[in-house]
A and B are shown apart, each in its own frame.
Chain A
Amino acid sequence: MKKNLPPSELARDSRFVRSTIMDAIMDPRNLAMSERDLGSAKLQPGRPAAADRARNLMHGIFTGEIQALEGAGRTTFDFDDDEAPFALKLDMARQCWDESRHVEISVKLGDWMGTEIGEFNEATFLYEAACATDPILRLCGVNRALEGLAIDVFNTMREFGDISGDPILEFCEDWMLADEVTHVKMGSDWLRRLTENDPERRERALEFQRGVDKLFSLGGFRGETEENPIQLARKLRAMAGFSTDEIDEISEISVQAQEDARAMSAGAAPSS
Chain B
Amino acid sequence: MSHSISLTPEAFTLVKYDAAELLAIAEAAATSVGVPDDVAISIEVDEALPNPLIASLVDDVDGTLTCWFTGGTFEDPQRQAELQRDTAKVELAAAFLRGRDRLGGGFEGAPPDGEISDRQRAIWDVYTDGRLARQGYRLNQARRRYAYRLQAGFNDVADAEYEQAWVAGAMSWDALLAVEARLADADPRPVSKKPIRRESLRPS
Contacts and interface: CB of A to CB of B under 8 A. Distances in A.
Interface of A: 17, 19, 23-24, 27-29, 32-33, 36, 38-40, 45-56, 111-116, 118-121, 164-168
Interface in B59-95: 70-72, 77-81
B150 A55 contact: no
B142 interface: yes
Interface centre among A113, A118, A119 (most CB of B within 10 A): A113
A112 B140 CA distance: 12
B31 to A, nearest CB: 28
A244 B48 CA distance: 38
A49 B154 contact: no
Contacts of A56: 51-52, 77
Chain B interface size, as a band, is 35 or more
Contacts, number: 106
A28 B144 CA distance: 30
A32 B78 contact: no
B160 interface: no
Interface centre among B54, B144, B145 (most CB of A within 10 A): B54
Interface string B6-30: 0000000011000000000000000
Given A28-B14, A46-B118, A56-B52, A165 B47 contact: no
A115 B143 contact: yes
Contact of A29 (B15, B55, B79, B154): B15
Contacts of B53: 48-49, 52-53
Interface of B: 14-15, 47-55, 70-72, 77-81, 118, 140-147, 149-150, 153-155, 187-189, 196-197, 199-201, 203
Nearest to A45: B150
Contact of B80 (A23, A38, A114): A23
B186 to A, nearest CB: 11
B143 A27 contact: no
Contacts of B199: 38-40, 46-48
B57 to A, nearest CB: 11
Contacts of B188: 165
Contacts of B144: 114
A62 to B, nearest CB: 13
A17 B79 contact: yes
Given A47-B199, A48-B53, A165-B189, 17 more contacts: A19-B80, A32-B48, A36-B203, A46-B199, A48-B201, A49-B53, A49-B54, A52-B143, A54-B150, A55-B146, A114-B142, A114-B145, A164-B189, A165-B154, A165-B187, A166-B149, A168-B154
B52 A29 contact: no
A42 B144 CA distance: 22
B139 to A, nearest CB: 10
